[in-house]
Structure 1
Amino acid sequence: MATTAESNIIMEATEIRCQEKSKGGLCYEVILAEPTGTKRAPSPPQPSPTQQTTIEDKLKAAEERRLSLEAHKLASLAAKLSKIEETARKKDELSSAFMTATRESLDAKMNNTEEKREAHINELKNKLKEHLESVEKTRLNLEQQTKEVRAAVEEKLKTAAAQRDENIKKMLDRLKEHEEQVVRVRQGMTERVHQLESQIQGKLDQARDRRESMEREQKEKLRNHNTVKIAKVRETADVIALKELEAKKREIDMKVTIAEENRQREIQRRLQALRQLERRAEMVRQNKAARADQEGKEEENNSALPLKIETASSG
C-alpha cells in the first residue's frame, strides 16, 4: 500500500508537456519533480538493532522502488521517443513522396508546355510564311496596277493637253468675238444714252413750263381763296371771341355770386362773434357792478364798525 501511494505521489509530481513545434513535428518536455517522502521522526540517539534492521529494509525497498520508477519512466520515454521518431520518419516519407509526385507532375507539365510552345511556334512560322507570300503577291499586283495606272494617266495627260490647247484656242476666239460684241453694244448704248438725254431734257423743259403755269394758276386761286377765307376766319374768330366773352362773363358772375355768399357768411360769422363779445362785455360789466356794490357795502360796514367800537369804549 505504501508503495502504491508513493508511486501515485511521484506520478502526480511528474509533468509531461507536449508542444507542436512545426507541422507534423512534436516536442515533449518531461519535468521530474523532486523526490518526496514522508518525514520521519528523528531516530533516537541509540536505536535498537531491530529498529536498525527495519530501517535498512525500508531504505532498500525505497531504493528498489525508485529504481523501478526510473526504469518505468525511461521505458515510457523510450516508447514516446520511438513514436516521435516513427512519426518523423513517416513525415519524411510523405514529404519525399509528395516532392517526388510534384516533381514528376511539374516535369510532365513542362514537357507538355514545351511541346505546345514548339507547336505554337511552328504554327506562327507557317502563318508568317503564308502572310509573307500573300504580301509578296499583293506587292507584285500593286506594282502591275501602278504601271497600268501610270500608263493610263500619261495617255490621259497627253489627250488632256491636246484637248486643253484646242479649248484655249476656242476660248480665245470666243473672247475676241465677245470683245467685238461689247464694242458694238457700247456704241449702241452711247447712242441710246444720247437719245435718252435729249428726250429727258425735252421732258424736263416741258415739265418746267407746266410747273410754272400751274404755279401761276395756284397763286391766282390762292389769292381769290385767301380773301374769302380771311372773311370766314374773321367771322369765326368773332363768334369764338363772343363765346369766350360770354363764358368768362358767366364765370365772373358765378365767382361774384360765390364771393357775395362768402361775404355774407363772413358778415354773419363776425356779427355772431360781436354779439358774443357784447354778451361777454355785459356780463363783465354786471360782474363789475356787483363787485362794486359788494365793495361799497363792505366799506360801509367797515366804516360803521369803528363807530360802534368807539361808542362801546366810551360807555
Structure 2
Amino acid sequence: MLIGLVRESVMQCFCHTCSRAPHLPVAPTEVRCQEKTRGGLRYEVILGEAEPKVQPPKKQQLSPKNSMSVQDIEEKLKAAEERRQLLESNKMAALSAKMSKIEEANRKRDEYNNQFITTTKEALDQKMGQHVEKREAIITDLKSKMKDHIENVEKTRLTLEQQTDEVRTAIEDKLKTASQQRDDNIKKMLERLKEHEEQVQKVREQNTQRLQQLDAAIQEKLGQARTRKEQIEQEQREKLRNHLNKSMEVKQFVEETVKARISGVAAFIEDKLATALLKREEQIRRKSDIAKKYVNMPPPFP
C-alpha cells in the first residue's frame, strides 16, 4: 500500500494535468509499525479526513476578439511553474515524512528484534545453567547411588562366599558320614544276602524232599486210579451187554405187537368193507324193487 502511494505521488509529477489542476491541500498521513510474528512487520498508513471537493472556478471564456498577449502567456506559464514546484515540494515533504516514519519503524523493529534476541539469549543461558546444574545434581545422585549399590553388591558377594564355604563344609561332612554309612550298609547287606542264601538252600532241600514225597504219593494214586478205571470199564461193559440184550428183547416184543395190531386192523377193515358192500347191495335191491313196482303199476287214467 505504501509503495502504491509513493508510486502515485511520483507519477502525478509527470501528468499533463498537474499544471491545470488547482492547488489542493494534502491530507495528513500517519504510518504505524507493529510486529505481528517473529521476523515480520505490519505497516498501517492512516490517512486524514477527506475534505470536501472544491470545484475550480470556471474559466472565463475569452471572446475571440480579445487575444492574449505574450506577457500574459509568460505570466501564466510562470504561475503554472510555481504551482508545479509547490506541488513537488509538498509531495517531497510528504514522501520524506513517510520515509522518516518508515525509518523510525525499521529502527523500532531492529530495537525490538535486538531486545527479543537479548531476552531470548538470557533466557536460554539461564535455562542452560539450570540444565547444567540439574545434570550435575543428577550425576552426583547417580554416583552416590552407584557407590551404595557397589557397596551392597560387595557385602552380598562376601555373604554369598561365606555361605558357600559353609555349605561346602557341610556337604563334605555329609559325604564323609554318608560314605561310612554306605560301607556299613554294604556289610549288613552282604551278611543278609549270605543268610538269605543259606535260607534258600534249606528251603530248596525241603522242597526237594516234599517233591519226592508228592511224586511217590502221585504214583501211588495213579496206580489206584488205573485199577479203579479198569474196574469201572469192566462194569460199564457188563452194563452195556445187559442193555443190548434188553434192547433186543424189547425190539422183538415191539415187532410182534406191531404185527398183531396190523393183522387186527386189516381184519377190522375187511369186516367194515364187507358190511358196507352188503348194505350197498341191499339198497340197490330195494331201489330196483321200487322201480319194478312203478313199472308194473297200471296208469291212473285209461
TM-score range, shorter chain: 0.5 to 0.7
What per-residue deviation string (whole Å, max 9, x for no partner) do you get for residues 238-267 of structure 1? x9xxxxxxxxxxxxxxxxxxxxxxxxxxxx
1:169 corresponds in structure 2 to 194
Supply the RMSD in Å over aligned alpha carbons. 3.6
- How far has the Cα of 1:85 moved from its partner? 1.0
1:142 corresponds in structure 2 to 167
2:59 corresponds in structure 1 to none
Contact kept, 8 Å, 2:34 with 2:43, in 1: the verdict is yes
Question: Which residue, out of 4, 18, 26, partners 2:40?
Answer: 26
Relative to 1, partners in 2 of residues 1:61 and 1:147: Cα closer, same or farther, differing over 3 Å?
Answer: same
Contact kept, 8 Å, 1:17 with 1:28, in 2: the verdict is yes
Give 1:66's aligned amino acid.
K
1:57 corresponds in structure 2 to 82
Relative to 1, partners in 2 of residues 1:182 and 1:25: Cα closer, same or farther, differing over 3 Å?
Answer: same
1:155 corresponds in structure 2 to 180
Q: Mapping of 1:240-259 within 5 angstroms?
A: none
1:117 corresponds in structure 2 to 142
Alpha-carbon distance between aligned partners in 1 of 2:105 and 2:258, rounded to the nearest angstrom? 159
Alpha-carbon distance between aligned partners in 2 of 1:235 and 1:95, rounded to the nearest angstrom? 156
What per-residue deviation string (whole Å, max 9, x for no partner) do you get for residues 252-293 of structure 1? xxxxxxxxxxxxxxxxxxxxxxxxxxxxxxxxxxxxxxxxxx
Alpha-carbon distance between aligned partners in 2 of 1:227 and 1:62, rounded to the nearest angstrom? 185
Question: Which residue, out of 124, 130, 136, partners 1:99?
Answer: 124
Question: Which residue, out of 200, 208, 212, partners 1:183?
Answer: 208
- How far has the Cα of 1:28 moved from its partner? 5.9
Which of 1 and 2 has higher RCO (CA within 8 Å, sep 6+)? Answer: 2
Alpha-carbon distance between aligned partners in 2 of 1:204 and 1:140, rounded to the nearest angstrom? 88
Give 1:192's aligned amino acid.
A
Alpha-carbon distance between aligned partners in 2 of 1:227 and 1:116, rounded to the nearest angstrom? 137
Relative to 1, partners in 2 of residues 1:227 and 1:73: Cα closer, same or farther, differing over 3 Å?
Answer: farther
Contact kept, 8 Å, 1:24 with 1:91, in 2: the verdict is no
2:19 corresponds in structure 1 to none
Contact kept, 8 Å, 1:19 with 1:28, in 2: the verdict is yes
Alpha-carbon distance between aligned partners in 1 of 2:78 and 2:241, rounded to the nearest angstrom? 194
Alpha-carbon distance between aligned partners in 2 of 1:66 and 1:221, rounded to the nearest angstrom? 178
Contact kept, 8 Å, 1:26 with 1:84, in 2: the verdict is no
What per-residue deviation string (whole Å, max 9, x for no partner) do you get for residues 86-134 of structure 1? 2212320232122123202211221121122112211211211111111
**Between Structure 1 and Structure 2, how many residues are aligned?**
217
- How far has the Cα of 1:229 moved from its partner? 5.7
- Please give the TM-score of this superposition, normalised by the length of structure 2: 0.62
Higher helix share: 1
Q: Which of 207-216 and 138-147 deviates more? A: 207-216
Give 1:136's aligned amino acid.
E
- How far has the Cα of 1:19 moved from its partner? 9.3
Alpha-carbon distance between aligned partners in 1 of 2:226 and 2:168, rounded to the nearest angstrom? 80
What per-residue deviation string (whole Å, max 9, x for no partner) do you get for residues 12-63 of structure 1? xxx999997xx62115699xxxxxxxxxxxxx9x671220221121111112
Question: Which residue, out of 201, 210, 213, partners 2:226?
Answer: 201
Contact kept, 8 Å, 1:17 with 1:29, in 2: the verdict is yes
Alpha-carbon distance between aligned partners in 2 of 1:123 and 1:199, rounded to the nearest angstrom? 104
Give 2:182's aligned amino acid.
L
Relative to 1, partners in 2 of residues 1:213 and 1:16: Cα closer, same or farther, differing over 3 Å?
Answer: farther
1:214 corresponds in structure 2 to 239
Question: Which residue, out of 106, 116, 119, partners 1:81?
Answer: 106
2:248 corresponds in structure 1 to 223
Alpha-carbon distance between aligned partners in 1 of 2:261 and 2:109, rounded to the nearest angstrom? 156
Q: Secondary structure at the match of 2:40?
A: strand
Contact kept, 8 Å, 2:33 with 2:105, in 1: the verdict is no
Relative to 1, partners in 2 of residues 1:226 and 1:85: Cα closer, same or farther, differing over 3 Å?
Answer: farther
Q: Which of 85-94 and 61-70 deviates more? A: 85-94
Structure 2 unmatched runs, 5+: 1-21, 45-67, 266-302
Contact kept, 8 Å, 2:33 with 2:42, in 1: the verdict is yes
Relative to 1, partners in 2 of residues 1:129 and 1:229: Cα closer, same or farther, differing over 3 Å?
Answer: farther
Give 2:82's aligned amino acid.
D
Relative to 1, partners in 2 of residues 1:234 and 1:142: Cα closer, same or farther, differing over 3 Å?
Answer: farther
Give 1:102's aligned amino acid.
K
